[in-house]
């Protein structure tokens, strides 16, 4: 189940808000400029399907987003729990960083944990199948795919080099919960 928890940056143990209501999540995230939407496939898709089939199932939403935001590249990434590079892949974006373009991901299957650090608060967003999150450029955040990553996501890019992570050097990400297998919604 998708979930949003909001914490003070100084208190990772007590969320001031915890909700799994998609509409409430969208409103709360919208306050900090983050888009959160739900999409429905026009045809059945599953992990292992060809990227073209997956993108065709979401063509109307993809085309709308590309037209609204000017994305130049759209692709599909798939990570399985048995991927031999899973530990390195997980570690890559576990520390607080930002990008010089929006980070936009749609979860076709599986889940991941985006954690955003904005104006003294930490927004923990568990994204699952059907969720789209659009994190504005320069927003400090980290992403955790868990120790046994399992997701298929559609990614949107404006520039090939825009998605480079610029790390802040802080330890804030280590102070907040990680995404673990079997984590409750």
CA–CA distance, 147 with 8 (Å, rounded to integer): 26
φ/ψ of residue 77, rounded to 5: -115, 140
65 DSSP 8-state letter: H
- pLDDT over 60 (residue 183): no
What pTM does this model have?
Answer: 0.94
Q: Tell me whether residue 117 is annotated as binding.
A: no
| Residue 141 CB coordination number (10 Å) | 24
112-133 pLDDT per residue, tens: 999 999 999 999 999 999 999 9
Residues 6+ apart with CB under 8 A from 42: 56, 57, 58, 59, 60
Q: Tell me whether residue 97 is annotated as binding.
A: yes
Give the pLDDT of residue 181. 63
Q: Tell me whether residue 52 is annotated as binding.
A: no
59-75 pLDDT per residue, tens: 999 999 999 999 999 99
Q: Which domains does the chain have, with CATH numbers?
A: 3-164 (2.60.120.10)
92-110 pLDDT per residue, tens: 999 999 999 999 999 999 9
């Amino acid at each position: 189940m998708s979930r949003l928890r909001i914490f003070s940056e100084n208190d990772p143990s007590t969320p001031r808000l915890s909700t799994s209501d998609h509409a409430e999540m969208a409103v709360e995230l919208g306050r900090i400029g983050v888009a959160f939407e739900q999409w429905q496939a026009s045809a059945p898709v599953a992990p292992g399907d060809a990227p073209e089939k997956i993108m065709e199932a979401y063509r109307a939403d993809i085309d709308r987003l590309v037209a609204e935001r000017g994305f130049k590249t759209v692709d599909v990434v798939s990570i399985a729990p048995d991927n031999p590079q899973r530990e390195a892949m997980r570690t890559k974006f576990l520390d607080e960083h930002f990008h010089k373009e929006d980070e936009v991901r749609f979860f076709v299957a599986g889940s991941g944990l985006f954690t955003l650090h904005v104006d003294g608060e930490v927004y923990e967003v568990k994204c699952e199948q059907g969720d789209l999150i659009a994190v504005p450029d320069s927003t400090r955040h980290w992403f955790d795919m868990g120790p046994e990553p399992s997701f298929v996501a559609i990614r949107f890019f404006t520039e090939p080099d825009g998605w480079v992570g610029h790390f802040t050097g802080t330890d804030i990400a280590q102070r907040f919960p990680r995404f673990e297998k079997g984590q409750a919604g």
